Amino acid sequence: MKWPVLLLLCLGILSCRESTPEHRAVYVLIDRSGSYAQYQDKVLATIKLTLASLEQGDSFAMARIDNENFSERDILAALTFSSRPSQTNAQKRALLNLVEQQADDSRVGSYTDITGGMLQAITWFNAKGASSKIIIVFSDFPDEPREGYLREFPVNFNGAWVVVWNASQTEPVADAFLTETQSFSDRASAWQARVQAGGGNWKLLNDINEIKPLFH
């Protein structure tokens, strides 16, 4: 286990109390299955803004969605910020170090279990009991778990926001870009319907500043 994860675990132990109902919880899902290089700068910028918006007692988690079947081993960090400002700042610095380390990791996943990642986020939200729940997704939404894993079932989002970066805003990739843009639009629309049918809220981001109102 790399040192940033160890540090986060230690910091998390120091602030292991559960978040209270007036606090917020944010879960970031990062797709490392091929298109990540196109939006890794947005990942870092969005997480910086998110961490700056969170306060003592709020909770933050981050995970990869690049395996055949999402599990706890894909979680990179999960913690509740300390009630002590100095400790909270240390936790945030450790998280940013971890995000930057992930940006330097060139490994590419073979699968994309988005549904599994969403379910893990909702389970974590339920444990935290926060009143404001946000899932931030960086993916072009090819939900591709290993063959045999069933993912077509209703998901109860219980009022959570699902915030998705508009993958069609990334740089064009050869002549397939327009076709892929339409494919992303179709996949995102299908997920939007699924989220809203499950009692969740949906937001497609075209600009980082569009996420700010969710933290107020």
Q: Report pLDDT digits (tens) over 13-57.
A: 444 444 444 799 999 998 876 566 667 788 889 999 999 999 999
DSSP string, 163-197: EEE-GGGSPP-GGGHHHHHHHHHHHHHHHHHHHHH
User: Count of domains in the chain?
Assistant: 1
The domain in which residue 32 lies consists of 3-215
Q: Which class for 214: exposed (0-12), middle (13-18), buried (19 or more C-beta within 10 A)?
A: middle
| pLDDT of res. 84 | 94
pTM (2 decimals)? Answer: 0.82
Note the helical H segments in the chain. 3-14, 40-53, 85-103, 114-128, 177-197
Please state, in angstroms and rounded to a whole number, the distance separating the CA atoms of residues 70 and 67. Answer: 6
Contact by Cβ (8 Å): 101, 32: no
Helical packing angle, 85-103 and 40-53, nearest 10°: 170
Beta strand 75-80 with 59-64 is: antiparallel
Instruction: Tell me which residues of the chain have a pLDDT lower than 70.
Output: 1-21, 33-38, 67-68, 103-111, 142-151, 167-182
Question: Within the chain, what is the greatest distance between any pair of CA atoms?
Answer: 52
Res 66: pLDDT: 72
Residue 8 sits in a domain whose CATH number is 3.40.50.410
The pLDDT value recorded for residue 183 is: 79
**Predicted local distance difference test score (pLDDT) of residue 187:** 85
CA-based radius of gyration for the chain: 17
Residue 173: per-residue pLDDT: 45
